[in-house]
Amino acid sequence: MIPLMMLAVAVSLDSFGVGLTYGLRRIKIPLVSLFFIGLCSAVSVLLAMAMGSGVAVWLSPHVAEMLGALILIGLGVWALVQTYRPKCETESVDLNAILKDPARADMDRSGTVIGKEAFLLGFALALDAFAAGVGAALIGFSPLGLAGSVAVMGALFVFLGMKCGYLSSKVVWLQRLSFVPGIMLILLGIARL
């Protein structure tokens, strides 16, 4: 249970940063949009775990578990590299741009993320969950347990981040903690080797 929750938290921590950014900019995400964002992550995890389970059929349990652990370690290393990589500006609204500057999801600049904007944000946040879901399936995590945990954690972290953003005007402390998800994924992977 603890490793499952750690994985759900690790893949959902980006959601807190996104929520914080929205809160600081006074952009609102209604409850329905939060639900949709969580649903996107849950569906992503379920699809990824189905793929991972399909691959696991062809591998011995030991090899599948090692491969899953290596995927989590690789995802953690990638997250660490992305944390310290210089940010470059782009004009197009793509999924990476939305994660780097979440306010871009509010395309109509209404101050509220709804409809297709919530879908874009949910899909962008679900990408990390997808990669982790494949690795989690190979290790043997429960698909419904992980999907439900990621959905709840993702929506909850966006909400909490928004609330903190409303109350706070500085993001410096969050930037110092941006390495935490990568470290958590690496530790989870190492624990499964």
Residue 46 pLDDT > 50: yes
Say whether 187 sits in a helix, a strand or coil. Answer: helix
Task: Provide the whole-model pTM.
Answer: 0.74
Residue 178 pLDDT > 80: no
Residue 91 pLDDT > 70: no
Tokens 């059929």 label which residue?
57
| pLDDT tens-digit series, residues 129-173 | 888 899 899 888 999 999 999 999 999 999 998 898 888 755 566
> How many residues does the structure list for the chain?
193
| pLDDT tens-digit series, residues 99-131 | 566 666 666 677 777 777 788 878 877 876 888
Mean pLDDT of all residues belonging to the chain: 81
Q: How far is CA 184 from CA 93, 117, 119, 120, 178, in A?
A: 29, 29, 27, 26, 11
Binning pLDDT at 50, 70 and 90, where does residue 68 land? confident
Backbone φ, ψ for residue 162 (5° rounding): -60, -45
Give the tokens for residue 118.
């919530």
Query: Are the CB atoms for 134 and 59 separated by under 8 Å?
Result: no
Q: What is the DSSP string of 58-78?
A: TS-HHHHHHHHHHHHHHHHHH
